[in-house]
Amino acid sequence: RLCDRKLHRLVCYVNSSLEYRLIGKVGDNAEMLFLDLYSDADFAGCRKTARSTSGIFLALRGENTFVPLGASSKRQSCVSHSTPEAEIIAANSALRTEGLPAQHLWEFVLNRQVDIVLQEDNTATLRILQTGKSTALRHLARTHHVNLRWLNEVIGKDGVSAQYCDTKKQAADIFTKAFSSADKWREVLDLIGIVTS
């Protein structure tokens, strides 16, 4: 019965979203392109376990280019104690699983260095990523298996940077939580290139 209910829910979703289209556009020379990597987390979003969810969105960008490349939504492996902690786990996952592999691929395809810009909407998290240390998060290596120094090294190297992104423009937000407002839902769909036909 549970499998039937899950299948019914999936088919209902597919049926109700037939008008949605994922679009991309290319309007720049290859020399102008870079990888735009968004990471976000909802702090203690799961009511049962109090675990956070990491959201990741990757796009190839230029002044007149937007090509969605990948996205991810995944429950974190253990409970985080603060929003910056949850956000750092999401940023680590974004760089390790999406950003750096995509950078390697696109450098091969374009035959040049391709920059990654990590978009972060939490200023405390951004500061920790840039300094590589936080006394409040010394436990990350044991609990989440995340090394702040490694993140700082990766972000500090040539071709990888992190910058502040306004929460309203955080494309990974859609992968972290449910939305009850139809207007907000349309806004977040637009951020990842999904439009209605």
Q: What is the pLDDT of residues 92-128, one digit of tens each?
A: 999 999 999 999 999 999 999 999 999 999 999 999 9
As a whole number of angstroms, the distance between CA 144 and CA 147 comes to: 9
**Which amino acid makes up residue 9?**
R
Helix, strand, coil % (nearest 5) of the chain?
45, 25, 30
Q: Is 62 helix (H, G, I), strand (E, B) or coil?
A: strand
Question: Whole-angstrom distance between the N-terminal and C-terminal Cα of the chain?
Answer: 35
Residue 49: per-residue pLDDT: 87
Report pLDDT digits (tens) over 58-77: 999 999 999 999 999 999 98
| Residue 125 near residue 73, CB atoms below 8 Å | no
Mean pLDDT of the chain: 92
- What is the CA 71 to chain-centroid distance, rounded? 7
Report pLDDT digits (tens) over 14-62: 999 999 999 999 999 999 999 999 999 999 877 888 899 999 999 999 9
As a whole number of angstroms, the distance between CA 128 and CA 148 comes to: 8
Q: CB under 8 Å to 181, separation ≥6 — which residues?
A: none
Percentage of residues of the chain with pLDDT beyond 70: 100
Give pTM, 2 decimals.
0.89
Residue 161: per-residue pLDDT: 95
Q: Considering only CA atoms, give the Rg of the chain.
A: 18
